[in-house]
Structure 1
Amino acid sequence: MYDKTFSADPRAAYEHLRRQGVAAPVELAPGVEAMLVTDHAAALRVLHSPELFAKDPRRWLALADGTVPADSPVVPMMMYRPNALFSDGAEHLRLRQAVTDSLDRIDPYQLRRFVERSSDYLVDQWAATGRVDLLNHYAKTLPLLVFSELFGSPPELGDRLVAGIAGIFDAVGDAEAANTMLTGALVELVALKREQPGSDVTSWLMAHPSRLTDEEMIHQLVMLMSAGTEPQRNLIANGLRLILSDERFSASLFGGGASVEDALDEVLWTDPPMANYAVHYPVRDVDLSGVVLTRGTPVVISFAATNSDPALIAHGRRPSNRSHLAWSAGPHACPAKDSAWLIATAAIEKLLNRLPDLELAVPVAELDWRPGPFNRALTALPARFTPIAPRPAAPAGPAPARPATAAEHPEPGARKGGVWSSFLNWWRGQ
C-alpha cells in the first residue's frame, strides 16, 4: 500500500482485497503487516466495539518485540502518544472531553471570515499570472494560515509544524526526522502558551478542568494539527479536482454553494483525504465475519473501500445520505468535522467566486497521486484562469495578534519573509 502502483489505482486494490473477505492482509510499509477492513458493516463493528478492539498502540506486538523497527516510516502515524486518538476507556474520555470542549469554543462566523481573508491573501499572490498549482499554492497553505491562527502559533513555528505533519503522513521518507521536527515545534508552542496564554485552542486546552500536562498538551496538539492540516488540504484539493473535472458540479463555478457541498460530500465517499486509518488492535483473537483477526495485529479501516462497499449500493444507502465513514465512527469519530467542513467549503467557494473561469491546466487523467498507505493526496493540481488584479489590502478589523518574524521559509509567490508574517503585513495593508 506504500508504492505508486497502489496510489495510482487504489480501487483495483480494494476490489482484489474485498474478494478475500471483510478484511485482508496488507503491507503498510516494507515489513509492516496489517489487516485492512474493506466491508462497511464489519468496519462499524470494529469502530463501535472498544471492548474488543483497542486503540492503544502499545498492544502492537510486532512493534513491541522489534519485528517492526522503530524507524519504519509508518511508526510516527501509528505509535503511542498520550492523546485522545490512541487511548481507551476513562483516559480517552478525559482527553476527548478536553479536545471537544476546546474546539466547541471556536466561533464559526469568525472561522469563516478568517478562511475567506486567507483565501484572498493567497489568490492575490498569483492572481496576475493566470496560472497556479492549487494544491501547493492554495490548498496546502490555507490550512497553515487558519491553524496558525486557531492554535496561536507564531510564524517561526508554522513551517516546522506543517513540514513535520506532511512528513509523517507520507510515511515513505524520513518520517522519524519529521516526527522529531513536529514534536520540537510543539514543545516550543506549549512553553510559549504557558507564559502567554491567549484566545486560542492551545490556551483553551491548557485551561480545561482536565488539567493536561505539558506532555499531554503536546500530543493533543499533534493529533489536532495533523487532522487539521494534511487531511484538510487533501479535502480542499480533491474537492477542487472534482469540481473542475466533472460537469455535474459546474454550477459551483458561478458561486453555487450547494454544488460545492455536494462535491465535497462525493469526495468524502470516493476519495476521502484519509483513505485508510483508524488503526485498532484486537485485545484477543476475534472472528470478524469469517476472518480471524489476531490479538495485537494492526487492524486498519479503509474508509475509501468501505464507502464503495457494494452492499451499500445494494441497500440504496449511497449516495442518498452521509453514511460514509470518512469521519470515522464510534467513540473515536472525528471531533472537528464541523470545522473541517466549514473550512473546506469556505475555501472553495471563495476561490471560485474570485476566479469564475478557473479550469484545470492538464487533463484530469494526467494528475498524479502521492504514494502512501494512509492518505489520498495529489502531488499537484495545476490550473489556469483569466489573470485578475490583486485586491487592495483593506483591513476589515484588527489583525491576528501574532508577532511577525522572517524566520519562515517564504512560499512561492509570497512577499519577503514567512507566509504568516507576509499574511499579517497584507492584512494590515503594509
Structure 2
Amino acid sequence: MNLFAPEVVADPETFYERLRTEHGPVAPVLVAGDLPAWLVLGYRENLEVARTSTRFTRDSRVWNLALEGRVPADSPLLPMTEWKPMVRFAEGDAHRRLRSAINDSLAGLNRRGVRRHVTRFANELVDGFCAEGRADLVTQFAQHLPMHVIAKLLGIPDEAAPSLVKATLDLSTGAKTAVASNEHIVTTLRKVVTRKRAAPGNDIASRLIGHSAGLSDMEVVQNLRVALVIGNETTVGLVASTLRMVHTDPRCRASLAGGHMTLPDAVEQILWDEPPFRTLVGRWAVADTELGGQRIKAGDLMLLGLAAGNVDPAIRPDVTASLLGNRSHLAFGGGAHECPGQDISRAIAETGIDTLLGRLPDISLAVPESELRWNSAWVTRHLATLPVTFTPKPPEETAQLFSVPRASEAGRDLGQGRDATSWPGGATSPAPRWPSLRHRFTHWLR
C-alpha cells in the first residue's frame, strides 16, 4: 500500500484499520517512488520507537535506501529526510547541545507577549473579511495566523510570512515544487541570521545565535527551519480542526454551554482525534531488530503513525469516551524529540479562535458538514475549506476593542520584560476569554 495513493490520502483512517487488521501494530507500506517503509500503528510501539534512540535513530544518514542510491534527487521525501545539522536529526550529546539552545531560547519568551501577538494578527486577519459577511476560515484565517505569529517569534519580517505559508504547504503535501519551496525557506532564514548577527533583537533567532552552545550559522538556519515548518503546519491543522469541531460537534457545543468543556479541552480532544501530523517522518533502525511482530532491518525507515496510535484499540477501546484533561496523546511525538514548542501551538489556537469568535459571535457554517473538503497531504490532514457566514461588521467598529502592541513594544513583549511568564517548564499557555465563548454557545442553544 502506497501512502501517497489518492485513495489513502482521502480516507487514511480506513486504511490504518485495514493495515492493523492485516499486519498488527507495525505494517509494511510504500511511500513516494514506491520506496518501502514501516508504518507504526500501535500506541505503545510508537512510544517505543520515539523513546528508544539506541534502536531507532533520527540520524537519517543510516537510511539503507539512500545509501543504496535508490532515493531520487527530486524525491518529495528529501526535505524531511535529508540529514542536516539540526536538532531533528541529532542524537546523544549533539542532540542535547542543540536542544538546550532551543529550550533556553523558548524559555525567554513572554507568554503574555505571545498572546498579544496572536491577538494582533488574528484581528488583522478578521479585519480582512469581517465586512463581507462570509469567509473561508481555513484559507483566510487558519492557514495564515500561525505563520505570522511564528515568524514574529523567530525574528522573520512580517512581509515574508505570506510566501512562507505557501512554501510550507508544499512541503507538507509533497508537491512537485517541494524542493524549490524548501530552498526558499532556507534562503529566507539565511537572510534573517545574517541580519540578526549584525543587529540582535528580542527573538528566537537572536537567542540561538548568542547562545553559549555556539551554534554555527548553518545550525541556526536549520533549527529555525524545523521550528518554522513543523510549528506552522501543526498549528494550522490544530486551528482548522478545532474551528470545525466548535461549529459542527453538538457534544462540544453542549459541553461548552454547560460549562463542562473549555476551549483548551476542545483543543486537546482534537489532538487525540485529529492530530495535525498523522504521520511523522521518521526514525531509522540502528540494527536488525523486531517490533510489533515484524522483523526490521538495519537502516529501514520507520514512520510514526500518530493518528493511528491515538485510536489504537489496545489503549482506547471506546473512541467516543471523554478525554477531558488527558494529554497522553501522540500528537507532539514523544521521547527526547518531543515537540518543544507545543504550548506555543496551543496558545496560538486557543487565543486565535477566542479572538475570532469574540469578534464574530454569530458565525455559522455556509454549507452542510458533509460538503466540507480536506487537504491532500499524506503526512497531515486538516480541512481545506471552512466556509461560514456571519453578520457583517466594519473593521473600524471592532478593532478598537482589542489592544494591539505598538512597534516599540513588540520586541519587549517577546522577551523577559514586564509581566513575563515563560514556558516551557510547566507553565500553562495563556487563558482565553471564556465569558465570550460561553455566551456564544448559550446563544446557539436557544
Q: TM-score, normalised by structure 1?
A: 0.89
Indicate the residue corresponding to 2:341 in structure 1: 336
Distance in structure 1 (CA, Å) of the matches to 2:165 and 2:159? 12
Aligned-pair distance for 1:227? Answer: 2.0
Indicate the residue corresponding to 2:65 in structure 1: 62
Aligned-pair distance for 1:45? Answer: 1.0
Distance in structure 2 (CA, Å) of the matches to 1:81 and 1:350? 38
In structure 2, give the amino acid aligned to 1:382: P
Indicate the residue corresponding to 1:4 in structure 2: 6
Indicate the residue corresponding to 2:273 in structure 1: 270
User: Following superposition of structure 1 onto structure 2, how do residues 229-240 of structure 1 map, counting pairs within 5 Å?
Assistant: 229-240=232-243
Aligned-pair distance for 1:49? Answer: 0.6
Match of 2:245 among 229, 242, 245: 242
Distance in structure 1 (CA, Å) of the matches to 2:73 and 2:142? 32
Cα deviation, 1:208-237, whole Å, max 9, x if unaligned, reads 111110000110011111122122111100
In structure 2, give the amino acid aligned to 1:115: V
Query: Are the aligned partners of 1:254 and 1:356 in contact in 2 as well (CA < 8 Å)?
Result: no
SS of corresponding position for 2:382: coil
Distance in structure 2 (CA, Å) of the matches to 1:128 and 1:199? 35
Aligned-pair distance for 1:397? Answer: 4.1
In structure 2, give the amino acid aligned to 1:59: V
Moved more, 253-262 or 338-347: 253-262
In structure 2, give the amino acid aligned to 1:319: L
Moved more, 255-264 or 221-230: 255-264
Aligned-pair distance for 1:386? Answer: 1.5
Describe the shift of the 1:155–1:346 C-alpha distance in structure 2 as closer, same or farther (beyond 3 A): closer
Distance in structure 1 (CA, Å) of the matches to 2:95 and 2:207? 18
Distance in structure 1 (CA, Å) of the matches to 2:368 and 2:359? 23
Cα deviation, 1:80-115, whole Å, max 9, x if unaligned, reads 121111111110110011111101111111111111
Distance in structure 2 (CA, Å) of the matches to 1:235 and 1:314? 24
SS of corresponding position for 1:383: strand
Indicate the residue corresponding to 1:359 in structure 2: 364
Cα deviation, 1:166-223, whole Å, max 9, x if unaligned, reads 2111113221111111111111111111111100111011111111100001100111
SS of corresponding position for 2:240: helix
Moved more, 109-118 or 243-252: 243-252
Match of 1:126 among 117, 125, 129: 129
Indicate the residue corresponding to 2:290 in structure 1: 287
In structure 2, give the amino acid aligned to 1:9: D
Aligned-pair distance for 1:314? Answer: 4.0
Distance in structure 2 (CA, Å) of the matches to 1:285 and 1:96? 28
Query: Are the aligned partners of 1:4 and 1:370 in contact in 2 as well (CA < 8 Å)?
Result: no
Query: Are the aligned partners of 2:120 and 2:404 in contact in 1 as well (CA < 8 Å)?
Result: no
Distance in structure 2 (CA, Å) of the matches to 1:261 and 1:337? 13
Match of 1:300 among 298, 303, 321: 303
Is 1:223 the counterpart of 2:226 in the alignment? Answer: yes
Moved more, 139-148 or 256-265: 256-265
SS of corresponding position for 1:310: coil
SS of corresponding position for 2:282: strand
Q: Give me the identity figure in percent.
A: 37
Distance in structure 2 (CA, Å) of the matches to 1:304 and 1:315? 15
Match of 1:399 among 407, 419, 425: 407
User: Following superposition of structure 1 onto structure 2, how do residues 24-423 of structure 1 map, counting pairs within 5 Å?
Assistant: 24-250=27-253, 258-314=261-317, 319=323, 321-391=326-396, 394=400, 396-399=404-407
Moved more, 37-46 or 27-36: 27-36
Number of paired residues? Answer: 403
Is 1:21 the counterpart of 2:32 in the alignment? Answer: no
Distance in structure 1 (CA, Å) of the matches to 2:63 and 2:151? 33
SS of corresponding position for 1:311: coil
Query: Are the aligned partners of 1:135 and 1:378 in contact in 2 as well (CA < 8 Å)?
Result: yes
In structure 1, give the amino acid aligned to 2:189: L
Aligned-pair distance for 1:319? Answer: 2.6
Query: Are the aligned partners of 1:276 and 1:375 in contact in 2 as well (CA < 8 Å)?
Result: yes
Indicate the residue corresponding to 1:423 in structure 2: none
Distance in structure 1 (CA, Å) of the matches to 2:230 and 2:95? 17
Distance in structure 2 (CA, Å) of the matches to 1:291 and 1:106? 44
Aligned-pair distance for 1:155? Answer: 3.6
In structure 1, give the amino acid aligned to 2:100: Q
SS of corresponding position for 2:377: coil
Q: TM-score, normalised by structure 2?
A: 0.85
Cα deviation, 1:26-79, whole Å, max 9, x if unaligned, reads 122232221000001111111111101000111111123221112111221222
SS of corresponding position for 1:269: helix
Distance in structure 1 (CA, Å) of the matches to 2:260 and 2:219? 39
Distance in structure 1 (CA, Å) of the matches to 2:129 and 2:260? 24
In structure 1, give the amino acid aligned to 2:19: L
